[in-house]
Structure 1
Amino acid sequence: MYRDLVILLYVSFDLVKCFALYLFKLIWYLAM
């Protein structure tokens, strides 16, 4: 159970990172 929680946390963190990168690119393109 603990391991599943860690994996879930890792995956969600990865998703947040990808989403933040996408938002950053979008804002950068709009600012150009």
Structure 2
Amino acid sequence: MYRDLVFLLYVSFDLTKCIGLYLFKVIWYLPM
């Protein structure tokens, strides 16, 4: 149970990191 929760938290954190990086790239390349 606890391990599953930690795994879920880690996966969601990784997902938000990927989405944040993608948004940062889009915002960075949009003005150019």
Length-normalised TM-score, structure 2: 0.93
Counting helix residues as a fraction of each chain, which structure ranks higher? Answer: 1
**Percent identity of paired positions between Structure 1 and Structure 2:** 81
Shift of residue 26 of structure 1?
A: 0.1
Structure 2's unaligned 5+ residue stretches are none
Structure 1's unaligned 5+ residue stretches are none
Shift of residue 29 of structure 1?
A: 0.5
Cα distance in 2 for residues equivalent to 1:30 and 1:23: 10
Runs of 4+ with >2 A deviation: none
Q: CA RMSD in A?
A: 0.5
Cα distance in 1 for residues equivalent to 2:3 and 2:29: 39
